[in-house]
Structure 1
Amino acid sequence: MTKSEQEIPEQETGFAKINLALHVRGRMAADYHAIETLFAFVDDGDRLTADHAEALSLAIEGPFSAKLDGDVDDNLVLRAARAMAESFAPGRGAALTLDKRLPVASGIGGGSADAAAAIRLLDRLWGLDRPLAHYEPLAAGLGADVPACLHSRSAIGRGTGIALDFVDVPGLSDQHILLANPGVPVATADIFRRWDGKDGGALPASDLDALFAEARNDLEPPAIALVPAIGTLLAAMREESERVRMSGSGATCFALYDSHHDAVTSANAMRARFPAIWTMTGRMRRSACTAASAGPQTMAS
């Protein structure tokens, strides 16, 4: 390896996560809830770089860096890096830089996606060369969404979201997406506390259109009650697309389109109506699972 090659930092994307559907099935011990959710991922998100160093460190920059300035030492990226070093590379260090492009506390993975990106990135930087499945227990210890974000492939999550069944949703990878956030951070615990306690049934095994006709996000009603701007934004987006939903516990909403042009046109229309919102357009990542598992299932009607 040449000196110039050694000086090029490793890079990884913390892919934005969406919940195509999220059914809350009941309460569990220790204030957890049993859910069934269909995770999917966008081809863009936060950016993480790493270079060789004697110790672990994290610098945060980007549009939403100010929201994390006071929590660098407890940031999930650094926690993931420490766990990786302790378990798989004792004594190793890395200088990490997070370009924070996704809103904080917004229902699209955020810190979980960044932690997952750190695991993938350090696996390469430190030459560990292990399959992603090897890191699933470590990821689960960092948060319920981190295992799904580790693979960044469509999957049904059950329990707290950690138990994953990878699925291929027909037509999903052909879809373009608009993400829109009204600029209001939402605490997941606050939304779950407002859930009505009613089990509306399991996720349908169905195609993409039926997911929006038959499935739901059970956290939408309590999120809208807490932040009415979410409901206003969803209503406006539904004028542009039939495939619209809030992701996770909010406040980010998403709409799917058949073309990049339609997604960008809709983004422009939303910003014209709501100048303060954050938007991002992208494409859905392919559904095929690359994890070491029994292989992806297929959701079919």
Structure 2
Amino acid sequence: MTRVRVRAPGKINLFLGVGSIDGDGYHALSTVFQAVSLYEDVIATPSDDFTLSVSGVDDPSTVPLDDRNLALRAAKVLAAATGHDGGVHLEIRKSVPVAGGMGGGSADAAAALVACNELWRTGLSHDRLHELGARLGADVPFALAGGTAVGTGRGDVLTPALARGRYEWVLITDDEGLSTPAVYRAFDVVRAESGARLADDPLDPFEVPPSFFEALLTGDPEQFAPCLRNQLEAGSFRLRPSLEDTIEAGVAAGALAGIVSGSGPTIALLCADARAADRIAERMRARDCTVRRAYGPVRGAHIVESDA
């Protein structure tokens, strides 16, 4: 086998509740992910060493080509776990915004795990790939799974969520990313200033209101829109107040609701249907916003080309 291409989706956090900080310095999370139709493609080919190339970004310096890159680390983790003694060249074709709160790096890692597992014929199960992915980052297991799922712990313990219908999104991206650790630090400051406890009980799936899942099950975006929630966006707003203005502009343009995706700065605007989303996208472009269209849920990391 000389070439395997795998596609993995970006994500939106439909719900993100932030709990206490554990002994390792991470916040307990209760979140609901939805995989959306912005994809990363990873092409794996045999190599004596572990190498990487990236396309699809305006500024290549924003994507590391060394062990800071999750995809390269994923390949090395898989090789170590299976005893594979060769390397791989990974060609990453990016479409998910870099440092945009949509899990693009995690999608790369998930795609690399699936691609190398196929290329090297190591035969690991999906569950085993999930375990390896969880070592790399909290969002990697979801990029493997796709669909809609509840994430707990650090977001890496997944439970599929029952969902109906297709949700249409207008995504407002920003050329200047936000650092996830910086957003969490800003969130902690906001929470402390507001008098909320930082050491509250860790969140679990039941912290997501039942009304959220009831609305999700209807498949009706108008019923679901009021349920969108992201506690972490308070940290994003503190670092970049203009994000609040963007959400307000999106709603004024006809969106049902808007939310910061993960740690941001990408804004996800939920729309009534595809025609409404196209219309809102044009209105936001007229405001000089950088706009992408997407829908969800979509499947997780999967092979789209293999010469096996």
- One fold, TM greater than 0.5? yes
Q: Write the mapping of 1:151-300 to structure 2, written as runs, cut at 5 A.
A: 151-171=145-165, 174-195=166-187, 196=191, 198=196, 202-205=207-210, 206=213, 207-208=215-216, 211-239=224-252, 240-273=254-287, 275=288, 277-286=289-298
Q: Which has the higher contact order (CA 8 A, sep 6+)?
A: 2
**8 Å CA contact 2:74, 2:109 repeated in 1:** yes
Relative to the length of structure 2, the TM-score reads 0.82
Output the CA distance in 1 between the equivalents of 2:279 and 2:266: 18
Moved over 4 A (4+): none
Deviations 1:152-191 (A, max 9, x none): 22111111111111112233xx222221113331111111
Instruction: Point out where structure 1 has 5 or more consecutive residues left out of the alignment.
Output: 1-5, 291-301
User: SS of the residue aligned with 2:136?
Assistant: coil
- Aligned partner letter, 1:231: E
**8 Å CA contact 1:182, 1:230 repeated in 2:** no
**8 Å CA contact 2:228, 2:257 repeated in 1:** no
- Aligned partner letter, 2:157: A
Q: 1:75/1:162 Cα in 2 relative to 1: closer, same or farther (>3 Å)?
A: same
User: SS of the residue aligned with 1:41?
Assistant: strand
Report the CA distance between 1:194 and its aligned residue: 2.1
Alpha-carbon RMSD: 2.4
Output the CA distance in 2 between the equivalents of 1:111 and 1:81: 13
2:305 counterpart residue number: none
1:124 counterpart residue number: 118
Output the CA distance in 2 between the equivalents of 1:278 and 1:47: 22
Aligned length: 279
Report the CA distance between 1:211 and its aligned residue: 5.0
User: SS of the residue aligned with 1:29?
Assistant: coil
Instruction: Point out where structure 2 has 5 or more consecutive residues left out of the alignment.
Output: 217-221, 303-308
1:28 aligned onto 2:22: yes
Output the CA distance in 1 between the equivalents of 2:33 and 2:83: 30
Report the CA distance between 1:66 and its aligned residue: 1.4
Q: Write the mapping of 1:6-45 to structure 2, written as runs, cut at 5 A.
A: 9-45=3-39
Which residue of 90, 93, 98 maps to 2:92? 98
Output the CA distance in 2 between the equivalents of 1:123 and 1:280: 32
Q: 1:64/1:269 Cα in 2 relative to 1: closer, same or farther (>3 Å)?
A: same
Moved more, 241-250 or 278-287: 278-287
Among all aligned residue pairs of Structure 1 and Structure 2, give the percentage whose two residues are the same amino acid: 29
Relative to the length of structure 1, the TM-score reads 0.84
